[in-house]
């Protein structure tokens, strides 16, 4: 392996440390999760398209969606999808606060981080309690 400048890669220059070196912090985890949920939601649009196309196609196509989304693993995906939506939304709201130039104080950063972690969990739980109440299960 040779770098662009032609020097061998085994030179003694120090490498910058990567994530496994650092002690994990909440803010660091949230930064990673914001990206991860974003990418997951990106992939999840396939499910949105599938669901809408199934409704547009007819009862047989919709029945397949219903079977899968009604199974335990289907529900698990929907639950995860709801959480990812809420999590990315709250992460985005936190970025809006930062965009105004506010909230960079360490204390505020910690409070915002906790808020961004807890609120999506509460709201996801609440959404699914309501969903099961609508279905008449609860």
* Residue numbers at the binding site for another protein (CB under 8 A): 35, 38-39, 41-42, 45-46, 48-49, 52-53, 55-56, 58-59, 62-63, 66, 69-70, 78, 82, 85-86, 89, 92-93, 95-96, 99, 127-128, 130-131, 134-135
DSSP state of 2: B
SS3 track for 83-135: HHHHHHHHHHHHHHHHHCCCCCCHHHHHHHHHHHHHHHHHHHHHHHHHHHHHC
Name the minimum Å distance from CB 39 to another protein: 6
User: Which is nearer to another protein, 35 or 114 (by Cβ)?
Assistant: 35
Helices (H) and strands (E) in the chain, counts: 4, 0
Cβ closest to another protein, residue 72 vs residue 134: 134
């Amino acid at each position: 392996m040779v770098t662009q400048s032609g020097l061998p890669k085994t030179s003694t220059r120090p490498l910058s440390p990567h994530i496994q070196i650092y002690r994990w912090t909440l803010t660091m985890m949230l930064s990673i999760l914001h990206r991860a949920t974003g990418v997951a939601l990106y992939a999840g649009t396939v499910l949105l398209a599938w669901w809408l196309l199934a409704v547009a196609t007819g009862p047989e196509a919709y029945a397949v969606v219903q079977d899968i989304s009604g199974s335990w693993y289907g529900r698990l995906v929907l639950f995860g999808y709801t959480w990812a939506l809420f999590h990315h939304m709250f992460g985005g709201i936190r970025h809006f606060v930062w965009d105004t130039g506010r909230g960079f104080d360490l204390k505020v950063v910690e409070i915002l981080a906790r808020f961004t972690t807890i609120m999506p969990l509460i709201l996801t739980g609440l959404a699914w309690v309501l969903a099961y109440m609508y279905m008449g299960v609860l």
